[in-house]
Amino acid sequence: MDQSLKLGSDEYLKEAMITLDKVLASLWKINEKVPNVNDDLMMAKWTLAWPIVESGMSLLDLSQKQRMRDCYIIARPIFEHVLNIGYFGANGEKAIKLALQHSHQKSYRDLNREINIKDIKVAIGLKNFNNIPVSDELKIALDEFTSQKGFEVRSWTGDNTFKKIEIIADKYGKDIGTILTLNLFYIYRHSSEIIHGTLFGTLFSRGMTKLSNEWPVNSIDLEKHQNTYIGFILQNTILMTYCAIKIIDSHYPLGGNDFEEIKKIVTAYRIKVEK
């Protein structure tokens, strides 16, 4: 690796931010290049694609401010969106129908919610909620996501993250599966710990889950630690965004040189940071 682009350096972060900004712009712009088709798969893909751009831009802002913990938190939904774009593409109308049913019944349940913990009760709901007509379509959705004991089923797929990646890799190839697995390895675990406020998550963000002789001893060491992991996040987000574009292109070919230009951007970045 070029010394000027050493992981954790200001130059490395700058190059990663420039590249991520380019691929996010590409993801947004290809909306104009995709055929004007009216189908559920396209609707699902673009509903999930625009938040990748939105969260990606937030990630760029946080990276500039060296907010390592928040970068992990933002990277997690980006990963989930890319994962679901691939899952929709691999499973087709069946998965999309299930996702729409999940959204339909959850929107209905959201109109009348209640939480009870011992003698604490928090509730919000519409007046005469029970008088709201339930269509046959809504009833099917409610039945689909209600357990035999009457509780809401919270998972919309029944497949865990590992299974989703397996399904996506079978459909789109090992390269896509490898990138998603890398993000599962580098992003998912630590983002979960940070999101859930665990002691491990806090210590990890301070560089204190390493061997004690490698702990940061001053602000310069801490900045280097945080920049290193922010660099990992940015690099993986570049690859995730590329995955989303490649999956969309496999269903709705961009045509021309658009996808080739995106590949050049990502390839040029990888050459710079790996040499």
Neighbouring C-alpha atoms within 13 Å toward the C-beta of 270: 11
- Give CATH 1.20.200 domain extents, the chain: 3-92+159-274
Q: What is the pLDDT of residue 33?
A: 66
pLDDT for 263: 86
How many residues belong to the chain? Answer: 275
pLDDT at 31: 67
Give the residue among 167, 162, 187 at the shortest CA–CA distance from 238: 187
**Cα gap 118→184, rounded to integer Å:** 37
Cα–Cα distance for residue pair 266/129, rounded to 1 Å? 52
Round to whole Å and give the CA distance between 88 and 178: 18
C-alpha to C-alpha distance for 83 and 135, rounded to whole angstroms: 31
Q: Which residues of the chain have pLDDT under 50?
A: 1
The pLDDT of residue 196 is 96
CATH of domain 3-92+159-274: 1.20.200
> Residue 21 and residue 39: Cα distance in Å, rounded?
29
Question: Considering the chain, what percentage of its residues have pLDDT values greater than 70?
Answer: 95
One-letter amino acid for residue 64 of the chain: Q
Cα–Cα distance for residue pair 179/169, rounded to 1 Å: 10
Please give the DSSP secondary-structure letter assigned to residue 146: B
Q: What is the pLDDT of residues 150-204, one digit of tens each?
A: 999 988 898 999 999 999 999 999 999 999 999 999 999 999 999 999 999 999 9
With beta carbons less than 8 A apart as the criterion, state whether 250 and 172 touch: yes
